[in-house]
Structure 1
Amino acid sequence: MIALGMTLGLTPTTVHSQSSPLQDETSYSHRIAQGRYFLEDGLLNQALREFEQASSMKEGRQDPLLHTLLARTHFRLGDVAASVAAAKTAERGSEGEPDPQLAELLEFLLTRFGKVTVIGGGTDGYLPETAAPLLDPELKRIFLGSLERMAAPATAGTTSMYLPVGNYRVGGHILEVVAGTTTRMDLRSSVGRAAAGVYGERRQDSTSGARLATTPVARSSLLVRMGGHGFYQQTNGSGGGRVLVAWTAAVARERISLLAAGTLSLQRMERIVASDPAPGGLLPGALVAVGPVVRPSPRLVLTPRIGWSIGYGHPLESGLPEGYRGPIHYLVHGPELEATLRFRVQEVDDARETVSVEPVVGARLFFQESTPLGSILEADRKSHLTFGVGFEFGLQLGS
């Protein structure tokens, strides 16, 4: 009787612990329905929990509907990497053409985001900034969420994530995130024993052994340009040429450009009489200018500047009319607007000293006042204005 009672007592329990295929299907469908309810109600973590439990069941391993719902949930939670993985699983599990909503979601993920390998910078590292504002609220939400992930655990480890495609500024350096490729984004402010910044900084070590403080260093370069210009002077047009040799420096995390240049121009100083222009002469001078650094793309750097030029003009005396007693010395000065477009030929490795040679084109708009010096006659002391435009080509050499 005891043995029979034990057998009878165990039998119902044993049968109850074994689920039938109908029960599994009902449980799976229930989790899908429950997860959908949570997803539509904005309870994303609860929805994710239901969908993940459903995906662990046999029916959910390749179910395109379930993995599409998982992709949507991960994206709303800000995890683009998990969303891409779920969407690809849903695509593999689809028979024939995938569902239009799945195809649209997958295209959006793969064309609007790029994979990024982020090297953390620790407590004194950089955080990326978008080079242009993100107007799409979804892209902005994902970027801000990724930014929190980079900043929250201040570690120096490596992680992988997806960011909206576009240009990012890291310590003044421009990186482009491209769809379909993996971009390396190093947030460290310095690396190595020499403390050379990965994006152009140097770290100053204090003798007390305290934590190193990062200080940006200006990136300087040599700029050489030459070209021609046309100008209007005393009711008459003319032309000339100029050679410019300049020292440039990018400061304020390479957002502001300073320029100090020496110039040598060949041009007419003034008209002697209405029908007889003075011969051309040499005009050595100096130019100082400042302006913002604009990066339309990782390979182009546009630098518009405003400055002031000053120089000394002296016409070629051999070309002056016989018996000429007028001025032959001139003070020439005035404002100048210029823009230089630099074509980057390669990304600079800031961990080691290298010299890059990059082509540039330049355009200038200038206004000059020419004042005769040492003139005896009152009529010869009158200043006159010159304005013109010029185009120049050259090279920029920098480290």
Structure 2
Amino acid sequence: MDFAFDARTEELRARLLAFMDEYVHPAEQVAHEQRAGLASPWDTVPVVEDLKAEARRQGLWNLFLPDSTYGAGLTNLQYAPLAEITGRSPQLAPTATNCAAPDTGNMEVLAQFGDEQQKKQWLEPLLAGEIRSAFAMTEPEVASSDATNITTHIERDGDSYVVTGRKWYISGAMNPDCRIFIVMGKTDPDGADIRRQQSMILVPRDTPGVTIQRAMQVFGYEDHSHGGHAEVVFDRARVPVANLIGEEGGGFAIAQARLGPGRIHHCMRLIGMAERAIELMCRRAVSRDAFGKALARQGVVQNWIADARVAVEQLRLLVLKTAWMMDTVGNRGAHTEIQAIKIATPRTVVGILDRAIQLYGAGGVSQDFPLAELYAGARTLMIADGPDEVHQRSLARRELKKYL
């Protein structure tokens, strides 16, 4: 079994690592300072636009899209180590390279299921980084871990669809550059097949009847990297029939196609977050003394660092195997592995970040270091894209099926 990266991956890794060291990491403090002077906390800080321009100049742009018509044409296995690198600075690097959620998933949906007009109107400006987007599925009144529960209505009325419902934690919706929502709702709420009741539709943000009700925080953070999270009300928002993505009843299948790559992208970036945490742990351990000797000489600290290294190496191999399977047998064939990494990666990275925070003491929970914000992001991914328990339930059923 060959564990080496191919030549193209190695070349892109080298360029991306240099980009991170030369531009992204120095920009983290700049972004923090610039954000304090913004008129709105949701405005994009100037340094992000500088990073985007430099990334485009260097060809580090739309790396996530496997279709070379729209993106870099990389396989999942080629993109995996690149996403890991961007995960070391999740607030800046994914956006700088136009590889940030929820835009990535939305671009994949439009590239795979959108018609030519939808691609021209929405996909092209997203690919160019000119606008942002949001994906509206989760609802506050139902258990959205079961997507068949959603209650938002998408009703046909002549040559229009009328959208009515309430969504929340809609990533990207607070960003003033967000121009379009992909909304999941029910076009056939009484249909016999509960997985054919849902459809997806494009709703421009400025559509009458669309109201951004409030911003939603994540552990007290506003999560600027995703363009914020919002509660959004659709009150008989009317859009043309042409805004339907695919066919009526195809929404559930589109959602599954969207979430497969999204889950592995999150896991790739989480490994980068864990690597950043290990680096910070080691730097802290060799620079601080306690009880007469360096923290690096304390047995418990050594155990934390060793355990973190072992865990990251295990996770990376599992994620790379999953990426390889997605490339060779498709998302359906890699279903078990996708669920396995979705369960294992956030849980393990949260543990590593928790130890890193402990090592930093008060600094670990402060705004002076990135650990608290990294922790909030990693912990959220135990819920986002399907909570761990849903994946455990499905994975257990697959295993038990062999014996029933």
TM-score by length of 2: 0.21
Q: Which has the larger radius of gyration?
A: 1
Structure with the largest fraction of strand? 1
- Higher-RCO chain (CA-CA 8 Å, sequence separation at least 6): 2
Structure with the largest fraction of helix? 2
